[in-house]
Structure 1
Amino acid sequence: MDDKVRARYRKILFLTWFLTLDLIMFGAFVRLTDSGLGCPDWPGCYGNITPVGALQDIREAVKVMPDGPVTLPKAWIEMIHRYVGALLGLLIICISWMAWRYREKFGQSPVLAFVALIAVCVQGAFGAWTVTHKLMPAVVTGHLLGGMLLLGLMTWLAAREKVHQQVQLVSKRWQPWVAFGLVLLFIQIALGGWVSTNYAALACMDFPTCHGQWLPEMDMKNGFSIVRGLGELPGGEMISQSALTAIHWVHRNFAFLVFAYLVTLGVRLRSQSGLQGPSNLLLILLGAQLLTGLTTIFFQWPLVIAVLHNGGAAGLVLTLVTLLVRIGRASLPGLSVQSR
């Protein structure tokens, strides 16, 4: 019976992990198709459970603004994202209950599962604020970071359930280096989210220079002012090109630092027993991120590539968290690595 319960727990856990990754990708699709206000209220769509019941309201909105944020396809995209998010929340509630109910049988503290539960609740709040604050860049970027944090927590939970090749105790010295790499990555994801939510991806359409210059005219102060509406400066004026250039330029150039650090880290960790798999994946994902990042510039931000770029960032998060978990379970040669 204990084995069946543990097997059921693992199935739910890995399904939830996979769904979290998918939801991050779909969230990028929502953002990049301008569907975030496809249903301009929350949690329903004009007070209805589905866009079908809101057809009249949607048609009226389209009449007023034919090219506006509300259309039937965008409403469905937005609501599907909400449905999947609700399902994810229910699954994490189930995981938390099982982690607490069977904590002695599993031999694990349920604290991490409850942290994930708190994180998904906060994500739900940010999802609501995204709509009620009309896609305010700070809120949308916070929603993205929350999704990445939740993915990291689910990866941590899932990685604890897997048996892997033994990692020797000497690899412990790399733990702070991987943790620092994860911090750098989250900063870069925040910068990338700021680019996306401010629609600054095409602010510089040449590479490696920007507007033909290494240091173009930039308005850092207004570009990185946090409390302001979408497409606006703090004073309510339309955001300037120089502010958008600053947003893009910082994200692009900080990426070089993160890329160099993580490539060096990945190459060094490939020699460590038990870390070769995630280290190789780290290097592959970094190459893919470089390719998709450049492609968004040269091909003017195609939707599929932009979504893949967001997914690559999620892949880097789960890879670095996996490395941290494995290093944290390092042991002396000859000692077995337990799945708990």
Structure 2
Amino acid sequence: MLDVDARLRLLKRLSLAGVVFTVTVILVGVWTRLVDAGLGCPDWPGCYGRLVVPDVDTANLHSPDAPLETFKAWVEMVHRYIASGLGMLVLAILLVGMPLRRHAGYPWGVCLALLAVILLQGAFGAFTVTLQLWPQVVTLHLLGGISVMLLFLWLHLRLRQYERRRAPLARRRLSPLWGVAMALLVLQLGLGGWTSSNYAGIACQGFPTCNGEWWPDTDWSEGFHLTQTVGPNYLHGKLHAEARTAIQVGHRLGALLLGLSLLALAWRHWRERRLRPVLATLLGGYAIQVGVGVANVLWWLPLGLALLHTAGAVALVIVMALAVWQSRLPGCLTTAKEEQGSKKEWVHA
């Protein structure tokens, strides 16, 4: 039997591994979509009725209307295997942490939320295939993966806090700017997923203009029509050019609003010395992400850069979460002037 300290050490390792593992699952999922392997297996959870990719004859007997492409089928199945491992990791965290669930301050609620979201992610994974890459489901699947990663990270931070204090800790209230920045980040993630799932990444040629115009022809109602019927197959998208252009322009406007909110956030809290490093990292990560996005447009969405753009979005979310955590810690109000004053008092003493 593990004692409390041993359980906490194991749980910290498992939750941190969960963060890394989830990032891997997200990137493998994006790679699966970028190589057009999202429908490499026409059924779920198996592949042509098997747990491993079958031979061509078996596949043709199972789904004669969906010819087997072995490489794409294996890419899809590898993604499913890895995602299943993530679910097993969540179950392990629940089992190890169950004896601590009644301890004051132990983040059992975060563990249960993690289980709920991972189950929902499994459902979205099934719907991604059965609804033939319906953009709404694909976008929600991406947001769900990021939510799983955030819950693993939050659990890890809460476990570290609990290990030190073994009691709930009072938290600072966040300023409204934090709420605005977080909301715009979520919006931009959704716009990025919507852009990707509708294959609108290169709907605009050139930057900062779009197809040689500052305001090109767009069809916003069709581009953001969220209640369209489920089609037979959304591979490579179904929208016309003006609708995809509207999605790309919307994604660019979202990036601009997010950048302005991050600048306002940094300006508002720059005097708080403990927040300066994470705010600087947040601004630097945003700048790099914008640069990678521009490069994707100018170089016609090469696979490596497209993956890097997703990785940058994930990194930005992690830094934002760490910034929020740091800003809510008590005593995070020390300004440079106050710190200098305390140093003088110490010297005089």
Aligned-partner Cα distance in 2 for 1:238–1:214: 25
Shift of 1:175: 4.4
Q: CA deviation at 1:149?
A: 1.5
Note closer, same or farther for the CA distance 1:301–1:59 as it changes in structure 2 (3 Å cut): farther
- List 4+ stretches of structure 1 deviating above 6 A: 59-65, 230-233
Q: What whole-Å deviation, never above 9, does each CA across 1:136-191 have from its counterpart, x for those lacking one?
A: 1111011111111122211211222346xxxxxxx946443223211111111111
Query: Separation in 1 of the partners of 2:173 and 2:188?
Result: 24
The reply to whether residue 262 of structure 1 matches residue 267 of structure 2 is no
TM-score, normalising length from structure 1? 0.85
Structure 2 counterpart of 1:46, which letter? Y
Contact map agreement 1:136 1:228 (CA 8 A) in 2: no
1:113 maps to which of 93, 111, 114: 111
- Higher deviation after alignment, 13-22 or 258-267: 258-267
Q: 1:216 to 1:83 in 2, by over 3 A?
A: same
Instruction: Assess if the C-alpha contact under 8 Å between 1:218 and 1:243 holds in 2.
Output: yes
Aligned residues: 321
Alpha-carbon separation, structure 1, partners of 2:145 and 2:285:
19
How many angstroms does 1:327 deviate by? 2.3
Mapped contact 1:270–1:280 kept (Cα < 8 A)? no
**Fraction of identical pairs, as percent:** 33
**Does residue 1:199 correspond to 2:199, yes or no?**
yes
List per-residue Cα deviations over 1:206-239 (Å, max 9, x = no partner): 1111122121111111111113446999xxx952
Structure 2 unpaired stretches of 5+: 162-170, 335-349
The residue identity in structure 2 corresponding to 1:48 is: R
Q: CA deviation at 1:129?
A: 0.1
Mapped contact 1:198–1:231 kept (Cα < 8 A): no
RMSD: 2.9
Partner amino acid, structure 2, of 1:189: L
Larger RCO (CA under 8 A, 6+ residues apart): 1
2:183 corresponds in structure 1 to: 183
- Tell which structure's C-alpha radius of gyration is larger: 2
Deviation at 1:267, TM superposition (A): 5.5
Aligned residue number for residue 131 of structure 1? 129
- The equivalent of 2:57 in structure 1 is 56
- In structure 2, what residue type is equivalent to 1:2? V
Correspondence 1:5-44 to 2 at 5 A: 5-44=7-46
- Which shifted more, 26-35 or 125-134? 26-35
Whole-Å separation in 2 of the counterparts to 1:287 and 1:60: 51
Which amino acid in structure 2 is aligned with residue 212 of structure 1?
G
Q: 1:314 deviation in Å?
A: 1.1
Q: How far, CA to CA, are the matches of 2:179 and 2:65 in structure 1?
A: 50
Kindly indicate whether the alpha-carbon contact (under 8 Å) linking 2:27 and 2:311 is maintained by their aligned counterparts in 1.
Answer: yes
